[in-house]
Amino acid sequence: MDIQNLQAFLLVAEEASFSLAAERLHLSQPAVSKRIALLEQGLGSELFDRIGRHVGLTEAGQALLPHAKAIVQQLFTAEQAVRDLSGDVAGQLRLATSHHIGLHRLPPVLSAFSKSYPGANIDIDFMDSEQAYDLIMQGRSELAVVTLAPVADDSMITRPVWQDPLVFMVAADHPLAGRRDCRLADLARHPAILPGLNTYTGQIVKRLFAEHRLALQVTMATNYLETIRMMASVGLGWTVLPRTMLDPGLVALPVAGTAIERSLGLVYHRGRSLSRAAQAFVAVLAEFGDTASRT
């Protein structure tokens, strides 16, 4: 099995689209289709069902998927081990992060890293934290600095860097603004604007309300926290955001019996040998964490 064919297979499976996979590989769609056809020919099985515009894995494709991920991951690890023999902190580091962390947390880290290691270049991909985990799993990103998953994955190494308290917020003219005895039941009676409930942050809020047997009235959901803050500030609903995002357009809403937060931190694959550039970045990142000593 050719490694390029396996990489094409993984991208088609992830995107459920030959055209989108071709864009990411910077190839034509026929070239990607040829790679999949060669792989199917070598295995003697069709890997994808093609029904109209829908592309889905066959039973054979489902069986191949975890092995293809492991093979690609091992290849990246082997390549990195050879590169590390040079001993220099140089080359390219592939880093995945969320828009929020990239805007509010990473700038001083990136500045310090660049000054200390000018020979290293960081290629940053901005995406949802959940997507970053997938990139790490597939070996297509070396490190991720993201919202950590509520449930640990044994194949990943995670290191908390910052604790990020979450705060209920409303516009100053919201009916609940100014109340000191607000409870979750009061919030449940008003529309909410929240991070997608499939995101790690959304899951924290969803679990909190589920524990109190309360339903959420989510009228709008988006994964972009800056957009949520803007919508809440114009009175479209209450929200939950990191405390650091509280601005003059919003007021914090104390809610009895709640204290929620999320962990932001580092993620990388347990089976991957980190490059010297990645090891150096991990060390610099730790200097900016909540537990770092300051002189």
Phi and psi at residue 165, in whole multiples of 5°? -60, 140
Domain identity same for 64 and 136: no
Domain identity same for 94 and 77: no
Q: How far is CA 45 from CA 2, 5, 211, in A?
A: 16, 14, 47
Mean pLDDT of 19-38: 92
Give the range of the structural domain holding residue 17, as residue numbers without chain letter. Answer: 3-81
pLDDT tens-digit profile of 264-290? 999 999 888 888 889 999 999 999 988
Considering only residues 292 and 163, tell me which one the structure prediction assigns the higher pLDDT: 163
Domain identity same for 54 and 100: no
Mean pLDDT of 32-54: 91
pLDDT tens-digit profile of 153-173? 888 999 999 999 999 999 999
Q: Which of 62, 81, 100 is the last residue of a domain?
A: 81
Q: Which CATH number fits the domain that encloses residue 142? A: 3.40.190.290
Domain identity same for 278 and 185: yes
Domain identity same for 93 and 77: no
pLDDT at 224 over 80: yes
Q: How far is CA 173 from CA 115, 231, 238, in A?
A: 46, 13, 11
Asked if 209 and 216 touch (Cβ cutoff 8 Å), the reply is yes
**Nearest alpha-carbon partner for 163 in 39, 260, 279, 89:** 260
Domain identity same for 224 and 293: yes
Domain identity same for 23 and 169: no
Domain identity same for 70 and 172: no
Domain identity same for 180 and 231: yes
- Residue 88 pLDDT class (50, 70, 90 cuts): low
Q: How far is CA 221 from CA 32, 217, 218, 233, 261, in A?
A: 35, 11, 7, 15, 19
Domain identity same for 178 and 44: no
Q: What integer pLDDT is reported at residue 166 of this predicted model?
A: 94
pLDDT at 43 over 80: yes
**Nearest alpha-carbon partner for 139 in 88, 209, 80:** 80
Domain identity same for 94 and 12: no
Q: What integer pLDDT is reported at residue 84 of this predicted model?
A: 63
pLDDT at 53 over 90: no
Which amino acid makes up residue 261?
Answer: E
Domain identity same for 195 and 125: yes
Number of domains in the chain: 2
Provide the whole-model pTM.
0.69
